[in-house]
Amino acid sequence: MTGGPARSEGILRVWTRSILIAIVAWLFLRTFVVEAFRIPSGSMEGTLLAGDFLFIDKAFYTPRRGDLVVFQSVEEPGRKLVKRIIGLPGDTVSMEAGGVIRNGAAIPEPYAVDADPGKSETPANRERMRRWQEAYFVGADPDGYLPDLHDWGPLVVPPDSLFVLGDNRDGSYDSRYWGFVPRANVRGHPFIIYFSREPDSWHALPSLSRIRWGRIFRQPE
């Protein structure tokens, strides 16, 4: 008989090499090409739902107005968020009675959910918004400027920055509150929902009835 221990060692080397190649390939893809991301909240309803799982396209992505974008939080560096790009560098953006105006023209937003147009922020949050926005404000009355949830600006987006909003305009913690997203924070563009499940079932026993079958393989826009 031939082979024996030598043959077993050869098979082990082949398997080890295959596993290492697979790990390196996955790390490369995750770092430079594609990454998974789960929607944790309702800030992007009704485009994305809490419990949607996305693949993010990271390869050579160039931000465009209206794109969904995943980025590192400017307040919590270890956390990723997803919002919609409203303004690119040099754009002048504002909101009047819930409608977004960019460079002097109202923009159509069929994706936006604004269930309570009369909703107002607390005085403390309005003052917080004013403090960061006043440096970029180009309106007629800077001394009397006091932004609100659905009325703010006009603001000029600085270089290498993005202004982003959640599609759920009444329930999104976004650029209105904490400012611009540095271009360096951008991680990519979500291009497909690969799984979706009702979020209230995460700690319950697995159930196929909780899976949102109709959302799987949908491309969010």
Give catalytic residue positions: 43, 83
The helix (run of H) or strand (run of E) holding residue 124 is helix 123-133
Q: Which residues contact 10 (CB under 8 A, 6 or more apart)?
A: none
How does 46-84 read in b/e, with b if 16+ C-beta sit within 10 Å?
Answer: ebbbbbbbbbbbbeebebebebbbbbbeeeeeeebbbbb
Q: Specify whether the CB–CB gap between 114 and 149 falls below 8 A.
A: no
* Contacts for 131-137: CB closer than 8 Å, 24+ residues apart: 132/178, 132/179, 133/179
Which tokens hold the place of 30?
A: 């995750």
Between CA 197 and CA 152 the distance in angstroms is: 36
Residue type, 83: K
Residue type, 129: M
